[in-house]
Structure 1
Amino acid sequence: MLNPSPWADSADREVETEVLILGGGLAGLAAASQLDGRAVVVEAEDRPGGLVRTERIGEYWFDHVIHLLYFSHPDVEARIGSLLGDVLRPCPPDARVETARGTTRFPVQLNLFGLPPEVRAACLADLRAAHEDTTPPRTYEELLLGAFGRTLCELFFFPYNRKLWRRPLSTLSASGFHWNLTRPGIAEIERGANSQRPAPGYNSRGWYPRPTGDGQRGMEVLSRALAGRVADLRPGHVVTALDTEARTVRTRSPEGITDFHYTHDCVSTLPLPTTVSLCRAAPSALVERCRALPRNRVRSVALAVQGPRPRDTGHWRYYTREDVPFTRLVFMTEFDPDMAPADGWGVLAEVLEPSEGPRAPDDALIAEVVRGVEEVGLLGPGSRIVGSRVFTSDPGYVVFTDTARETAAEATRFLTSRGVTPMGRYGTWTYSSMSQVMEEAFAWGAERSALTTT
């Protein structure tokens, strides 16, 4: 029996708007904040924010996935600074790398001093040789080797990226991953190998909200502030169909079926494969190719710990060892001491799974993470776990292959030709920071605001 068409029933209500924005994450909220009352934002969840949400477990707060704000554009910094005021505090990131030969600061290639002398010497020799080789890389594995040399790849980049991407590195594209790589010059590398003074990473100017009082904490403070600038935000509306010919989007909510008619623009911040599958005019072959786009889901395991806070952890630690499930541990009270009661602390463990594979049951995943946290020595005497939860983001990371990039480009061209503007990290099927997402969305919203008022 065929599934019924999403247009089979008549709508319970109809809404007309100049601009319709699908998805109330940072991209949708930032774009709508520039359009006064001329835009409607529909959001499937019960509150906006997308990935930029923070949950509470008792007296402990956890971001769904950890974010720091790194401002790459002065206009965005000024806007968010004005929006959040004194709540937004400097938070220069302090990250550590756990390897089989010792612990050093991140990025490891700028902080080799934390490794044994013989390892530093081997890393430097390989790095110098790698920088002399100008052969263009064909795969991500070759890109890493050409950037950092064999020793540092075997020590950190290969084991860490195998855990992160959960696929052979030789099958991944040589392009698309540069956001995750810092390739400094030889002089900078040598400086970091000969000085114990930490070298700054590529994002050394970080910011994080630290509100006072007992209200909302964490990065959701940013999402809520942006949502307050949106005139018509409708949570609980799941998009079920998109008809670009009729300029109509159908949603399902507790109130029933609603048809939203847009007269000027439709923006979709939904994942690119989702938008294509919802589009009535999409060719079936394109829909199937988009469904096959590779990605990983992020399983963020939050553990509320009662007991003394561990010292000198940094904000987060990367783990290369294969016997623990997480790629990194994030220490929430390092971002804001009030994210937990004074006699406790919260840790967020990030575990990656291929989206096409099975999802580990929450209970089993929590048990594995607890075992791993104990294995790395973080649960000391007098510490006990008083709460836990799993947050799942799917997609979490877009996986770049040559074929996937071609499919994503074709899907983007198709939607644009039908008058739909993909926007945001997953809407454009790429990687972008919060600052980049907001920069693009603010600019688009400002441009459309000017056009619709003339």
Structure 2
Amino acid sequence: MKTTYLIIGAGPTGLGAAHRLRELGVADFLVLERNPYAGGLAASFRDDHGFTWDIGGHVVFSHYAYFDALMDSLLGAERLEHQRESWVRSNGTWVPYPFQNNIRHLPKDARWECVEGLLPGNRPTTPPENFARWIDTVFGRGIARHFMNPYNFKVWATPPELMQFGWIGERVSVVDLKMVLRNIIQERDDVAWGPNNTFRFPLHGGTGEIFRRLAGRVADRIEYGQSVARIDAKAKTVTTEQGLTVEYETLLNTAPLDLLVRDWLVDAPDALRDAADGLDHNSVYVAGIGLDKEPGAAPDTRCWMYFPDSDSPFYRVTNFHNYSPDNVARPGEQLALMCETSFSKHKPENVHELMDRTVRGLVNSALLRGDGVDDILSRWEIAVDYGYPVPSLTRDKALRILQPGLEALRIHSRGRFGGWKYEVSNMDHSVMQGVEWAERMVLGTPEKTYTVD
């Protein structure tokens, strides 16, 4: 089999690339997908009890007119729009997100510790050399202790001392002492920060519905159930574990970059293999807990919640029933709690115990009554080896070697793990990396979202 453009992976980036190629009048392309379904980490699943689950808390917001128009064309009126309501569980109480803007909700001792850490002379003044030092410099030791340090270790499964901070951008709200004091004294909440303070979600089928529909537009060019086993850059062939061999002119990889270099690429240069050692990632376990609402219980309007404390294994819980009524079997009558826990060599977890620990954490966090455990209807779970690409201290040096080296071989690697840049791995970023790659191939226009140094 031969094709001009071969794409590995039918996730957001691969489908974005395939769709844009077709829009540009290119028919000679092929997508290889190892799973029997499209969507990658943005896929969704309906369990045996009628609950729908995502692989983590995805929401749709955008930086791009093209992406907005694409979502409009895919979903039309079959989508819902939400105003974000998110909270942090800290010190046995609930604090509106962003935590650092709303510390007035903390117990008095913790509140003072956070303010004291922000006072003049109490924060480091030398340039930070890593993420941990950046946290102390920007937020002070109180906010660091009560939220930033424990939460970031729980989500990244990596010590902040081993991470850089150049990825921060719009992802973390910085703090202003004057604003913090004003919010405390005036008893005012500050909750509007962030690019996702409003977001959209499909009415049916979870996030995966977006990519099922997008895949449908290029279904004749997708080969499902094909796991890559070997890439020969000299011969320009990809061979799958199932025995399919495809000859290509240009290759777009959206699978993990380290797998590409270490496991698939024949005769990979030592410089690329060595550079791949500088890439780190975590793994994520997602537990879905489905149950009936308690009779007469007040509605819980929260979208998602963050958990820095040690009395729960998860770093985030999403009220998935609030995203769409169709995410539960009996809309309006049931709850769907989607819980995420990370793990890595720095933070090992026994995945086989995490469901029970998750349930105990929900009880500890006041999201589930202790006498309600036996009433749980659905316990759905999935563990993904590649959860988040960690912005480690060694990442940028590795990418400066890997990406130009691969491009010299006519191999382009994009997407959450193909590009390995967390700061451009939102859903819109991921789709647009594929779109912009296709435009570069066909039109010669430069990519903007992902650039190769």
Q: Identify the TM-score tier after normalising by the shorter chain.
A: 0.7 to 0.9
Is the Cα contact below 8 Å between 2:159 and 2:346 reproduced in 1? Answer: no
Is the Cα contact below 8 Å between 1:272 and 1:408 reproduced in 2? Answer: no
Q: For residue 257 of structure 2, what is the aligned residue in structure 1?
A: 272
Change (3 A) 1:359 1:126: closer
How big is the alpha-carbon RMSD for the aligned residues of Structure 1 and Structure 2?
A: 2.6
- The yes-or-no answer on 1:30 pairing with 2:16 is yes
Amino acid at match of 1:443: E
Is the deviation greater in 94-103 or in 198-207?
A: 198-207
Look up the SS of the partner of 1:446 in the other structure: helix
Is the Cα contact below 8 Å between 1:251 and 1:258 reproduced in 2? Answer: yes
Among candidates 316, 319, 323, match of residue 328 of structure 1 = 316
Q: Matched residues in 2 for 1:104 and 1:357: separation?
A: 26
Look up the SS of the partner of 1:164 in the other structure: helix
Q: Matched residues in 2 for 1:206 and 1:40: separation?
A: 36
Is the Cα contact below 8 Å between 1:296 and 1:395 reproduced in 2? Answer: yes
Q: Matched residues in 2 for 1:449 and 1:88: separation?
A: 32
Q: Matched residues in 1 for 2:111 and 2:354: separation?
A: 36
CA deviation after TM superposition for structure 1 residue 96, in Å: 0.4
Is the Cα contact below 8 Å between 1:294 and 1:356 reproduced in 2? Answer: no
Q: For residue 437 of structure 1, what is the aligned residue in structure 2?
A: 430
Is the Cα contact below 8 Å between 2:275 and 2:402 reproduced in 1? Answer: no
Is the Cα contact below 8 Å between 1:318 and 1:328 reproduced in 2? Answer: yes
1:372-422 Cα distance to aligned partner (Å, 9 max, x none):
112222223556112212212221122233223322331222111111111
Look up the SS of the partner of 2:419 in the other structure: coil
Look up the SS of the partner of 1:47 in the other structure: coil
Alignment of 1:228-307 (within 5 A): 228-230=216-218, 231-253=220-242, 257-263=243-249, 265-277=250-262, 278-284=264-270, 286-287=272-273, 289-290=275-276, 293-307=279-293
Among candidates 205, 209, 228, match of residue 221 of structure 1 = 209
Change (3 A) 1:318 1:201: same
Could you state the TM-score of these two structures normalised by the residue count of structure 2?
0.87
Is the deviation greater in 150-159 or in 442-451?
A: 442-451
CA deviation after TM superposition for structure 1 residue 288, in Å: 5.3
Is the Cα contact below 8 Å between 2:59 and 2:199 reproduced in 1? Answer: yes
1:17-69 Cα distance to aligned partner (Å, 9 max, x none):
11111111100000110112232111101111000011112211111111011
Q: For residue 148 of structure 2, what is the aligned residue in structure 1?
A: 157
Change (3 A) 1:235 1:397: same
Amino acid at match of 1:83: L
Change (3 A) 1:394 1:206: farther
Is the Cα contact below 8 Å between 2:110 and 2:146 reproduced in 1? Answer: no
Look up the SS of the partner of 1:436 in the other structure: helix
Look up the SS of the partner of 2:290 in the other structure: strand
Q: Matched residues in 2 for 1:81 and 1:26: separation?
A: 16
Amino acid at match of 2:426: S
- The yes-or-no answer on 1:339 pairing with 2:324 is no
- Identity value in percent: 25
CA deviation after TM superposition for structure 1 residue 172, in Å: 2.4
CA deviation after TM superposition for structure 1 residue 318, in Å: 0.9
Look up the SS of the partner of 1:41 in the other structure: strand
Look up the SS of the partner of 2:387 in the other structure: strand
Q: Matched residues in 2 for 1:310 and 1:355: separation?
A: 41
Amino acid at match of 1:221: E
Q: Matched residues in 2 for 1:130 and 1:444: separation?
A: 48
Among candidates 430, 442, 445, match of residue 449 of structure 1 = 442
Number of positions where the alignment pairs a residue of Structure 1 with one of Structure 2: 429
Is the Cα contact below 8 Å between 2:157 and 2:347 reproduced in 1? Answer: no
CA deviation after TM superposition for structure 1 residue 300, in Å: 0.6
Amino acid at match of 2:327: M
Change (3 A) 1:187 1:29: farther
CA deviation after TM superposition for structure 1 residue 133, in Å: 6.0
1:103-160 Cα distance to aligned partner (Å, 9 max, x none):
2111112223323466545534533538986531111111111111111111111121
Look up the SS of the partner of 2:385 in the other structure: strand
Is the Cα contact below 8 Å between 2:34 and 2:225 reproduced in 1? Answer: yes
Q: Matched residues in 2 for 1:131 and 1:449: separation?
A: 55
Change (3 A) 1:143 1:282: same
- The yes-or-no answer on 1:420 pairing with 2:406 is no
CA deviation after TM superposition for structure 1 residue 86, in Å: 1.1
- The yes-or-no answer on 1:202 pairing with 2:202 is no
Is the deviation greater in 25-34 or in 155-164?
A: 155-164
Is the Cα contact below 8 Å between 1:294 and 1:355 reproduced in 2? Answer: no
Change (3 A) 1:418 1:397: same
* Unmatched segments (≥5 aa) in structure 2: 446-453
Look up the SS of the partner of 2:167 in the other structure: coil
1:200-221 Cα distance to aligned partner (Å, 9 max, x none):
121244333343xxxx511011
Among candidates 348, 372, 397, match of residue 338 of structure 2 = 348
Is the Cα contact below 8 Å between 2:158 and 2:347 reproduced in 1? Answer: no
Q: Matched residues in 1 for 2:134 and 2:409: separation?
A: 37
Amino acid at match of 1:389: W
Change (3 A) 1:173 1:310: farther
Alignment of 1:20-99 (within 5 A): 20-36=6-22, 37-57=27-47, 58-99=49-90
Look up the SS of the partner of 1:34 in the other structure: helix
Could you state the TM-score of these two structures normalised by the residue count of structure 1?
0.87
Q: Matched residues in 1 for 2:434 and 2:183: separation?
A: 37
